């Protein structure tokens, strides 16, 4: 897993910013004359920045194992429970990229319509706009972490009050579990994947579930280290999975959800108090580029830019209308297909640099 650096973050931000400028210019200057050098320049800059981002990610230094706390492994007094818990950071870059992909077909529709579009072009723009709004709403619902964030906020508030349930554990291995069930179509399987970090207390195990990137970072940074696994004092007021956080003695934290049945043995005793504050920090960020995931997405975007280049150079009003619409439709298809292929690969790939334990379980009805 390569570590995130200033170069990887800057190049990613530049690529997204240039792509956003290109989309905005289609609407901000829709009546500009042909030879849209402004949009072509923005697309060219986005291509260079995206290539630089991919190269910077592949050459970035690897994420290193964190140094254990002094004295760990011998008889020593563990550090106190934390009072301030940093909530997981939101992935603004991924969200921005997804929004730009969803908006691109609508932007291409406006580009193809030009300044002389008739009633049919206007109706098509309205139709694509409605589809885009629905797609944005669907994507937001699919990736929403609002319920998890609310649960983690309860944990952070209870920690701030110094009232927590806690147990000392040791970090184990990262696990991916593939749960198989009957699909929506006859003869098909539906696969749901879960990721967690195994935390051990003697012979017992607690699974701390989190996104695969977070689990991978924690396993690589904190493997075989000790720390506190903590739950909120108000756990009885939370339904289903319980929020929890593993705080390594080195001060790095992984927040996620735990199975209530696994947590109950440690929630029955008296509360632990957090007498003093500690400096707690999130796990170091890693570079996001993964070839199986991002190559189809970037390839689709590059193909879309090449397909729209003639429309931007000659102008949609000076080209045959059928050719302009065809090129923009093919560009939209390239974007959508690349995004679908990349998303499909994202559900299969795992963070590099460590060994994952992969297990499978099946719905009893198909076992």
Residues 114, 315 contacting (CB under 8 angstroms):
yes
Give 87-95's long-range contacts (Cβ < 8 A, gap of 24+): 87/149, 87/152, 87/153, 87/156, 87/255, 88/152, 88/214, 88/255, 88/282, 89/282, 89/285, 93/12, 93/13, 93/16, 93/288, 94/288, 95/143
pLDDT at 359: 84
Over residues 113-134, the mean pLDDT reads 80
With a CB cutoff of 8 Å and minimum separation 6, the contacts of 186 are none
Crossing angle between the packed helical segments 291-314 and 92-113, to the nearest 10 degrees: 30
Over residues 6-19, the mean pLDDT reads 95
Residues 308, 327 contacting (CB under 8 angstroms):
yes
Give per-residue pLDDT as tens, 138-191: 878 777 788 889 999 999 999 888 888 989 999 999 999 888 887 777 877 778
CA 10 to chain CA mean position, Å: 18
Give per-residue pLDDT as tens, 287-308: 888 888 999 999 999 999 999 9
To the nearest 10°, report the CA torsion of 64, 66, 71, 74: -80
pLDDT at 72 over 60: no
| CA quadruple 158, 159, 164, 167: dihedral sign | positive
Q: Tell me the whole-structure pTM to 2 decimals.
A: 0.83
pLDDT at 231 over 80: yes
- Max distance between CA atoms of the chain, in angstroms, equals 80
Instruction: Name which of 49-58, 116-125, 237-246, 348-357 the model is least confident about.
Output: 116-125
pLDDT at 334 over 70: yes
Closest by CA position to 1, among listed 289, 366, 311: 289
Q: Give per-residue burial for 291-317: e unless 16+ CB within 10 Å, then b.
A: eebbbbbbebbbbbbebbbebbeebbe
pLDDT at 90: 85
Q: What is the mean pLDDT of the chain?
A: 87
CA atoms within 13 A on the CB side of 118: 2
Share of the chain above pLDDT 90, in %: 41
Report the C-alpha gap between 144 and 162 in whole angstroms: 29
The residue among 66 and 63 whose pLDDT is bigger is: 63
Residues 288, 93 contacting (CB under 8 angstroms):
yes
pLDDT at 81: 87
pLDDT at 35: 80
Closest by CA position to 209, among listed 169, 142, 262: 262
Share of the chain above pLDDT 70, in %: 94
Classify 225 as helix, strand or coil.
coil
Over residues 212-235, the mean pLDDT reads 90
Report the C-alpha gap between 225 and 293 in whole angstroms: 31
């Amino acid at each position: 897993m390569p570590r995130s650096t200033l170069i990887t973050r800057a190049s990613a931000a530049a690529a997204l910013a240039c792509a956003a400028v290109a989309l905005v210019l289609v609407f901000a200057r829709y009546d500009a004359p042909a030879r849209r050098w402004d949009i072509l320049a923005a697309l060219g800059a986005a291509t260079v920045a995206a290539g630089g981002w991919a190269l910077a990610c592949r050459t970035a230094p690897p994420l290193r194992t964190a140094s254990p706390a002094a004295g760990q492994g011998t008889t020593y007094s563990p550090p106190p429970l934390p009072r301030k818990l940093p909530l997981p950071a939101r992935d603004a870059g991924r969200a921005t990229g997804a929004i730009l992909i969803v908006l691109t077909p609508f932007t291409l529709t406006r580009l193809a319509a030009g300044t002389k579009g008739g009633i049919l072009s206007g109706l098509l723009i309205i139709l694509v706009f409605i589809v885009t709004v629905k797609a944005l709403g669907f994507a937001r619902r699919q990736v929403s972490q609002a319920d998890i964030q609310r649960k983690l906020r309860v944990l952070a508030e209870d920690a701030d009050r110094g009232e927590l349930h806690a147990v000392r554990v040791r970090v184990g291995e990262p696990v991916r579990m593939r749960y198989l069930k009957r699909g929506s179509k006859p003869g098909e399987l539906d696969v749901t994947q879960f990721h967690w970090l195994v935390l051990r207390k003697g012979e017992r195990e607690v699974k701390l579930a989190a996104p695969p990137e977070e689990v991978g970072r924690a396993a690589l940074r904190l493997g075989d280290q000790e720390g506190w696994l903590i739950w909120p004092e108000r756990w009885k007021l939370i339904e289903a999975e319980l929020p929890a956080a593993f705080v390594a003695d080195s001060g790095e934290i992984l927040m996620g959800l735990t199975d209530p049945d696994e947590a109950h043995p440690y929630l029955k005793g008296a509360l632990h108090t957090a007498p003093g504050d500690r400096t707690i920090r999130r796990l170091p960020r890693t570079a996001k580029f993964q070839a199986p995931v991002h190559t189809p997405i970037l390839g689709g975007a590059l193909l879309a830019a090449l397909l729209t280049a003639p429309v931007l150079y000659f102008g949609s009003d000076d080209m045959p209308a059928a050719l302009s619409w065809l090129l923009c439709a093919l560009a939209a298809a390239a974007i959508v297909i690349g995004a679908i292929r990349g998303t499909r690969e994202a559900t299969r790939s795992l963070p590099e640099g460590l060994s994952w334990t992969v297990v499978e379980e099946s719905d009893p009805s198909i076992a």
